[in-house]
Amino acid sequence: MIPFLDLKKINDSFQPELNEKIADCVASGWYLLGKQVKEFEKEYSEYIGTSNCVACANGLDALTLIFRGYIELGRLKPGDEVIVPGNTYIATILSITECGLVPILVDADPITLQIDSGKIEEAITPLTRAVAIVHLYGRNSFATEIADICSRHNLILVEDNAQAAGCRNSDGRITGSLGNAAAHSFYPGKNLGALGDGGAVTTNDPELARIVRTLAFYGSEKKYVFDYCGRNSRLDEIQAAVLRLKLPRLDEDNSRRRVIAEIMQREISNPLIGLPYPENDKTGNNNVFHLFPVFCEDRDRLQNYLMENGIQTIIHYPIPPHRQKCYEGKIPIRHPLDVTEWIARTELSLPISQVMTEEEALQVCSILNDFK
Ligand SMILES: Cc1ncc(COP(=O)(O)O)c(C=O)c1O
């Protein structure tokens, strides 16, 4: 059996230090708002390359706090439009609608599977104030073209970096430092995963960082004084200690994922199975392969076949956000979403991780190549 993601094996690879760090936290008697979180924020902002990092409870909160922060700063207001890829995990869209903003869905590029940068400009209206890009599947979705559109139209650029920890732009900058603000998730299955929920906001904007920190702490900057209606959203000390242990190995882990991805790119040769487009960035660093998506018109039969042959897969995602019941009649669909629909119909994510062996990858390829 080759599991989709062997979290136990991943975490075992950090032993015995992992247990020691946790035991130290337990013994310290200090569980929230302490040294571990402070140090993690410092180390993560250094890694990402931003002047600020605010840790919070999860990736959805990170995204929501960014939009709420911009609203409190007067740079966004409810009713404003945010351009966002239609092909994303629903959390990106939830953060927009939760703040009373309007998501304007733009289709994916069929090659990169990321937001189609050539379709952003035509989605702009007088109400557009922001663009949210999502580095989906671990692939960098930033393009200078997007930054140019944002600066020409005075739009805020938000990055959803939940799936792309450690990914690089072609100029070497890391995703999470490319826009005005970025949201990160440390959900256990992410490339940088905690042992529970976790998230962070990174930004070079000190005002945004301040307001995000305040909103994440009940809306308070001064003890028992509440200037905003905030929430409680924090990373705990144990998770911060775990992330501090894992962060120094993130680049190495991502390189391992690339080795596995290269094997699958090279070895899968079944005409019924479409592969993600190979990297156009010579460094290869613009993809950290959080997922390895393949495409098949007979996807459900392929998934069953793989399961019967001991290979676990997951679909990302079977129903796109705009067709979910929660958004029925509630969000505008102004632009065609054909590629998004095609991805939802045909996508299947193969096992990939830093602890998967080359033999396992070859086994996956050989079983896939026998699919008829
Ligand atoms: C693209 C994307 N955005 C946001 C999130 C939300 O992160 P979290 O699960 O930490 O709330 C996730 C993952 O779950 C995601 O994949």
Q: What is the pLDDT of residues 30-69, one digit of tens each?
A: 999 999 999 999 999 999 999 999 999 999 999 999 999 9
The identity of residue 210, as a single letter, is: R
Angstrom distance (rounded) from CA 175 to CA 191: 13
What sections of 84-143 are H helices per DSSP?
A: 90-98
**Ligand 1 atom at minimum distance from 95 CA:** 4
Give 241's Cβ-side CA count (13 Å radius). Answer: 21
What's the CA-to-centroid distance between 56 and ligand 1, angstroms? 13
Residues 11, 252, 139, 342: is their CA dihedral positive or negative?
negative
Query: If you average pLDDT over residues 344-366, what whole number do you get?
Result: 98
332 preceded by a cis bond (ω within 30 of 0) = no
Angstrom distance (rounded) from CA 121 to CA 261: 33
Residues 351 and 364: beta-carbon distance below 8 Å: yes
Q: What is the pLDDT of residues 298-330, one digit of tens each?
A: 999 999 999 999 999 999 999 999 999 999 999
Angstrom distance (rounded) from CA 203 to CA 55: 12
Q: What is the pLDDT of residues 161-217, one digit of tens each?
A: 999 999 999 999 999 999 999 999 999 999 999 999 999 999 999 999 999 999 999
Atom 12 of ligand 1 has which residue's CA nearest to it?
A: 162
Structure tokens at 21: 């760090």
Q: What is the pLDDT of residues 124-165, one digit of tens each?
A: 999 999 999 999 999 999 999 999 999 999 999 999 999 999
Identify the CA nearest to 207 among candidates 228, 180, 243, 247.
Answer: 180
Other beta carbons within 10 angstroms of residue 319's beta carbon come to 11
DSSP code per residue over 249-298: GHHHHHHHHHHHHHHHHHH---TT-BPPPPP-STT-TTB--S-EEEE-TT
- Angle of helix 358-369 relative to helix 250-267, nearest 10 degrees, comes to 30
**Ligand 1 atom at minimum distance from 186 CA:** 10
Angstrom distance (rounded) from CA 309 to CA 1: 8
What's the CA-to-centroid distance between 143 and ligand 1, angstroms? 22
Identify the CA nearest to 55 among candidates 241, 189, 221, 222.
Answer: 241
Angstrom distance (rounded) from CA 154 to CA 323: 30
What's the CA-to-centroid distance between 90 and ligand 1, angstroms? 8
Angstrom distance (rounded) from CA 242 to CA 17: 9
For 59, phi then psi, to 5°, come to -70, -35
Query: If you average pLDDT over residues 15-36, what whole number do you get?
Result: 98
What's the CA-to-centroid distance between 96 and ligand 1, angstroms? 13
The average confidence (pLDDT) of the chain is 97
The residues near 352 (Cβ < 8 Å, ≥ 6 apart) are 257, 260, 261, 264, 289, 291, 292
Q: How confident is the model at residue 102 (pLDDT cuts 50, 70, 90)?
A: very high
Domains and CATH numbers, the chain: 7-106+116-248 (3.40.640.10), 249-369 (3.90.1150.10)
Give pLDDT, residue 279: 65
Strands in the chain per DSSP E: 52-56, 81-85, 102-106, 128-134, 156-160, 181-185, 199-203, 220-222, 225-226, 292-295, 347-350
**Ligand 1 atom at minimum distance from 60 CA:** 11
317 preceded by a cis bond (ω within 30 of 0) = yes
Angstrom distance (rounded) from CA 277 to CA 133: 19
Q: What is the pLDDT of residues 247-282, one digit of tens each?
A: 999 999 999 999 999 999 999 999 999 998 876 566
Is the predicted pLDDT of residue 6 greater than 70, yes or no?
yes
**Ligand 1 atom at minimum distance from 91 CA:** 4
Give pLDDT, residue 9: 98
Question: Which residue ranges have their beta carbon within 6 Å of ligand 1?
Answer: 58-60, 88-89, 91-92, 134, 160, 162-163, 185, 187, 197, 199
pTM (predicted TM-score) = 0.98
DSSP code per residue over 69-93: HHHHTTS--TT-EEEEESSS-HHHH
Give pLDDT, residue 285: 81
Q: How far is CA 13 from CA 7, 19, 193, 226, 258, in A?
A: 10, 11, 13, 44, 18
What's the CA-to-centroid distance between 370 and ligand 1, angstroms? 34
Give pLDDT, residue 283: 65
Structure tokens at 89: 């995990």
The residues near 136 (Cβ < 8 Å, ≥ 6 apart) are 85, 87, 88, 89, 113, 114, 163, 164
What's the CA-to-centroid distance between 186 and ligand 1, angstroms? 9
